[in-house]
Amino acid sequence: MSALAQDTSIPSAKDLAPVPRERRRRWTYYSLPVYSGAFFLYLLIPITFMVVYSFNQSHSALPQVTSKWQGFTTQWYRQWNGVPGLGPAFILSIKLALFATVLSAILGTLLALALVRYRFRGKGVTEQVLFANIAAPEIVLGASLLGFFITLNLDRGFTTLLIAHVMFCVAYVTITVRARLSGFDPMLEQAAQDLGANPWVSFWKVTLPLIFPGILAGALLAFALSIDDFVTSNFVAGPSVTFPLWVYGAVKVGIPPQVFVLGTVIFSAGLVLAVTALVFQGRAKKARPEPEEG
Partner 1 sequence: MEQHVPADLHGVEPPRRHRRLGRSASPYLLGAPAIVWLAVFFVIPLVTMLSLSIQTCDSITLACKLTWHFAEFPNIIGRYNDTFVRSLVYAGAATVAALVVAFPVTYWIAFRAKRKNFFLLMLLVPFFVSFVIRTTAWYTLLADQGTILSTLKNLHLVPESFHVLATPLAVIGGLAYNYLPFTALPLYVALERIDRRVMEASHDLYATRRVAFTHVVLPLAVPGIFAAFLLTFVPAAGDYVNAAILGGTNTVMIGQVIQNKFLEAADYPAASALSTVLLVLMLVGIAAYAKFLGSRTIEEYV
| Site for partner 1 contains 91 (CB under 8 A) | no
Q: Using the rule CB under 8 A, which residue among 30, 40, 61, 71 binds partner 1?
A: 40
Give the footprint of partner 1 on residues 202-221 (CB under 8 A).
221
Q: Which of 1, 61, 187, 195 binds partner 1 (CB under 8 A)?
A: 187
Site residues (CB under 8 A) for partner 1, limited to 50-79? 50, 53, 65-67
List the one residue out of 217, 228, 223, 224 whose CA is nearest residue 109: 217
Binding characters for partner 1, 221-260, by CB under 8 A (x = yes):
x--xx-xxxxx--xx-------xx--xx--x---x---xx
| Amino acid occupying residue 85 | G
E strands in 78-170: none
Interface with partner 1 in residues 98-127 (CB under 8 A): 106-108, 110-111, 113-115, 117-120, 122-124, 126-127
| Residue 231 CB contacts under 8 Å (≥ 6 apart), including other chains | 138, 139, 141, 142
Closest by alpha carbon to 109, among 184, 163, 182, 176? 176
Q: In the complex with partner 1, which residue's Cβ is closer, 106 or 210?
A: 106
3-class DSSP assignment, residue 157: coil
Residue 206 C-beta: closest distance to partner 1, Å: 15
Contact assessment for residue 85 and residue 100, using Cβ atoms and an 8 Å cutoff: no
Q: Which of 191, 201, 208, 284 binds partner 1 (CB under 8 A)?
A: 191
Query: Contact with partner 1 (CB under 8 A): which of 94, 100, 175, 216?
Result: 175
Asked whether the CA dihedral 51, 56, 62, 66 is positive or negative, the reply is negative
CB of 184 to partner 1, least distance (A): 15
Site pattern 140..169 for partner 1 (x: CB under 8 A): xx-xxxxxx-xx-----------xx-xx--
- Cα dihedral sign, 246-254-80-265: positive
Of the residues 3, 5, 19, 45, which one makes contact with partner 1 according to CB under 8 A: 45
User: Contact at 8 Å (CB) between 257 and 58?
Assistant: yes
Size of the site for partner 1 (CB under 8 A): 110
Residue 61: CB minimum distance to partner 1, A: 20
Least distance (Å) between residue 181 CB and partner 1: 12
Q: Give the residue, chosen from 278, 280, 284, 292, that forms a contact with partner 1 under the rule CB under 8 A.
A: 278
Long-range CB contacts (< 8 A, 24+ apart) of 51-59? 51/260, 51/264, 51/267, 53/257, 53/260, 54/257, 54/260, 54/261, 54/263, 54/264, 56/257, 58/257
Least spacing, CB of residue 74 vs partner 1, in Å: 19
